[in-house]
Amino acid sequence: MHSILYPWQQAAWAQIQQLRGRWPHAILLHGPEGIGKTLFAEFLAQSLLCEAVQSDGQACGSCASCGWFLQYAHPDYRRVRPEILESDPDADGDEAAAGKSAAKSAKPSKEIVINQVRALSEFLNISTHRHGVRAIVIYPAEAMNVAAANALLKSLEEPGPNTVFILVTHSIEALLPTMVSRCHQFALTMPDRAAALAWLATQKIARPEQFLAEQGGAPLAALEASQSDSVLLQEEFLQFLHRPALDGALKTADKMQKTAIPLLLSWMQRWLYDVFSFKLTGKIRYYPRYQKEIKQIASGIAIASLLKLLAANTQRRAVADHPLSAKLLIEDMLLEYSTLCGTAH
């Protein structure tokens, strides 16, 4: 866990401190991925438990409660997240951000399941260890399956005394409306470009402007992307997209078959968005370095064909985690793209 908030979070922190002394029983932090929502949530939880809160509302970092919290061992704190994140004690499911780890399986779950929510019952029914507040952070909240979400609803409807739930989501529309309505909603927004680039400069990454654009302005996602092993594969994928050909589709699919399908689909989604955006508005969001190539593709493809590609990409995202055959899915995607865009270059 980071020792300080990110620079762009300071204003939001000051705003949420207006609730201090009258904390709602449930807070829903929502906003885009890659901006540090989970870190913010854990900072808030730590400050609720701190025994010597500073004047700005941040935890002192040195009292007994802070010591326990930073080791994920505070008796009045629980963190609920998918089992797959438990393999990394510092991962946060949002952008690389206590409770006992869920039992490990051969294929850890990407969902928050009902047993994890039920496990909170005993915690909620006993007195707090420090005679203060108990804090529960749940992230990403949209990872709760239906049974888990319904189980949590009961706790939100009948909250125990001195309990604060902090839910984190980057897809508020994916949550049950009844759950959202029982929470105090607090939006965390994307930092402006200058602030994001200033922070990335401190991280000393190459091509910060490129990675920030490709991640839609999210600085933490940009940092993660810059350090990814898939940078060269992404470049090869984009090279194919601006020079589509049927024979090239099969060769590219062969090279990409071991790449995570959700990652490939995200690259495709951003590319198609840029082509669509340029065709309608002349603007490019994710890949400005490919402006010439995107302009060429956009000039030669019909709106109906673009919409078809976007719809197909959305359908593939629905099965991205469990494709029957990764290679066949990639081949189908690239062949369809080549057929519809091959005359545009």
* Same domain, residue pair 272 and 326: yes
The pLDDT score that the predictor gives to residue 106 is 55
Determine, yes or no, domain membership for 159: yes
Determine, yes or no, domain membership for 15: yes
Question: What CATH number does residue 15 fall under?
Answer: 3.40.50.300
pLDDT category, 4, cuts 50, 70, 90?
A: confident
* Same domain, residue pair 158 and 64: yes
pLDDT at 92 over 60: no
User: How many structural domains compose the chain?
Assistant: 2
The pLDDT score that the predictor gives to residue 324 is 79
Last residue of one domain, picked from the residues 154, 187, 220 = 187
HEC sequence for the chain: CCCCCCHHHHHHHHHHHHHCCCCCCEEEEECCCCCCHHHHHHHHHHHHHCCCCCCCCCCCCCCHHHHHHHCCCCCCEEEECCHHHHHCCCCCCCCCCCCCCCCCCCCCCCCECHHHHHCHHHHHHCCCCCCCCEEEEECCHHHECHHHHHHHHHHHHCCCCCEEEEEEECCHHHCCHHHHHCCEEEECCCCCHHHHHHHHHHHCCCCHHHHHHHCCCCHHHHHHHHCCCCHHHHHHHHHHHCCCCHHHHHHHHHHHCCCCHHHHHHHHHHHHHHHHHHHHHCCCCCCHHHHHHHHHHHHCCCHHHHHHHHHHHHHHHHCCCCCCCHHHHHHHHHHHHHHHHHHHC
Question: What CATH number does residue 236 fall under?
Answer: 1.20.272
* Same domain, residue pair 148 and 235: no
* Same domain, residue pair 252 and 159: no
Range of weakest confidence among 2-6, 153-157, 163-167, 201-205: 2-6
* Same domain, residue pair 267 and 169: no
Determine, yes or no, domain membership for 210: no
* Same domain, residue pair 118 and 242: no
* Same domain, residue pair 249 and 311: yes
pLDDT tens, position by position, 178-219: 999 999 999 999 999 999 999 999 999 999 999 999 999 999
* Same domain, residue pair 168 and 281: no
pLDDT tens, position by position, 26-76: 999 999 999 999 999 999 999 999 999 999 999 999 999 999 999 999 999
Enclosing domain of residue 77: 7-187
pLDDT at 174 over 70: yes
* Same domain, residue pair 163 and 245: no
* Same domain, residue pair 30 and 158: yes
pLDDT at 91 over 70: no
Determine, yes or no, domain membership for 212: no
> What average pLDDT does the segment 78-90 reach?
80
> What average pLDDT does the segment 318-338 reach?
91
pLDDT tens, position by position, 94-132: 544 333 333 344 578 889 999 999 999 889 988 888 778
The length of the chain is: 345
pLDDT at 93 over 60: no
